[in-house]
Chain A
Amino acid sequence: MTQAFDYKKQILEPIKSLRGAPREEMYLPGHRTCSGCGPALNYRLVAKAAGKETIFIGPTGCMYVANSSYLCTPYAVAWIHSQITNGGAVASGIEAAYKTLMRRGKYDGPFPNVIVMAGDGGSVDIGLQAMSGLMYRGHDVLFICYDNESYANTGIQTSPTSPYGANTTFTPPGKLIPEGKTLFPKDPPQLVIGGHPAVKYVATTCVSYPLDLMNKVRKALNYDGPTFLHMLAPCPKGWKFDEKLTLDMGRLAVETGMWTIYEWENGQYKYSHIPKKYQPVGEYMKYQGRFSHLKAEHIARMQAFVDAKIQRIKAIPVEAPVPTPKSGSKSRA
Chain B
Amino acid sequence: MAQEKMLSGCAAAAQGAKFAEVEVICSFPIRPYTAIMMELARMVANGELDAEFIHGEGEHAQVSVALGASAAGARAYTGSSGVGVTYAFEVYSPAAGGRYPLQMAIADRTLDPPGDFGSEHTDAMSARDQGWLMGWAATPQEVFDNTVINYRVGEDPRIMLPQFVCQDGYFLSHIPDKVILPELSQVREFLPPYRAPHPLSPQCPVSHGPQIRPDQGAPMDAQRAMTFLDLPKVIEKATDDFNRIFGRNYDPFLEKYKMEDAEIAFFIQGAHANTCKSAINHLRSQGVKAGMVRPRWIRPWPTEQITEALSQVKVVGCVESSTSYGGATRGGNLIHEVRTSLYDLDKRPLVTSFMAGLGGDVIMLEDFYYMAKILTQMAKDKKTHQLVYWVGFEEEI
Contacts and interface: CB of A to CB of B under 8 A. Distances in A.
Interface of A: 1-2, 52-55, 57, 64-65, 68-71, 73, 75-83, 85-86, 88-101, 103-104, 106-107, 109, 112, 129-130, 132-133, 136-137
A198 to B, nearest CB: 13
A101 B195 CA distance: 11
B51 interface: yes
Given A1-B53, A129-B58, A76 B66 contact: no
Contact of B44 (A1, A75, A79): A1
B50 A89 contact: no
Contact of A70 (B70, B206, B216): B216
Given A79-B208, A89-B64, A133 B57 contact: yes
Interface residues of A, dominant DSSP? mixed
Interface of B: 23-24, 26, 44-45, 47, 50-58, 60-61, 64-74, 76, 90-91, 94, 193, 200-213, 216
Interface residues of B, dominant DSSP? mixed
A81 B50 CA distance: 28
B202 to A, nearest CB: 5
B65 A93 contact: yes
A284 to B, nearest CB: 33
A199 B76 CA distance: 26
Given A54-B202, A85-B60, A90-B68, A68 B23 contact: no
B207 A132 contact: no
Nearest to A81: B209
B60 A68 contact: no
Given A73-B207, A93-B66, A78 B201 contact: yes
Given A78-B206, A132-B57, A104 B200 contact: no
A96 B52 contact: yes
A265 B52 CA distance: 28
A270 B345 CA distance: 78
Contacts of A88: 61
B60 to A, nearest CB: 6
B72 A68 contact: no
Contacts of B23: 97, 100-101, 104
B74 A70 contact: no
A235 B280 CA distance: 70
A1 B90 CA distance: 30
B56 A133 contact: yes
Contact of A90 (B55, B67, B202, B204): B67
Given A101-B23, A112-B201, A94 B69 contact: yes
A112 B199 CA distance: 13
Residue of B54, B76, B216 ringed by the most chain A CB atoms within 10 A: B54
Given A1-B44, A55-B202, A96-B24, A81 B65 contact: no
Contacts of B66: 93
A55 B201 contact: yes
Contacts of A55: 72, 200-202
B40 to A, nearest CB: 12
B195 to A, nearest CB: 9
A111 to B, nearest CB: 10
Contact of A133 (B61, B67, B76): B61
Nearest to B22: A100
16 contacts: A53-B202, A65-B211, A80-B68, A80-B208, A82-B68, A83-B90, A90-B68, A93-B69, A96-B65, A97-B23, A100-B52, A101-B74, A106-B193, A130-B57, A133-B61, A137-B55
A57 B72 CA distance: 12
Given A82-B64, A86-B91, A97-B72, A92 B201 contact: no
Contact of B211 (A69, A91, A101): A69
A109 B60 contact: no
B80 to A, nearest CB: 14
Contacts of A2: 47
Contacts of B51: 1, 100
Given A1-B44, A53-B202, A75-B207, A99 B90 contact: no
Given A92-B68, A130-B64, A132-B57, A76 B205 contact: yes
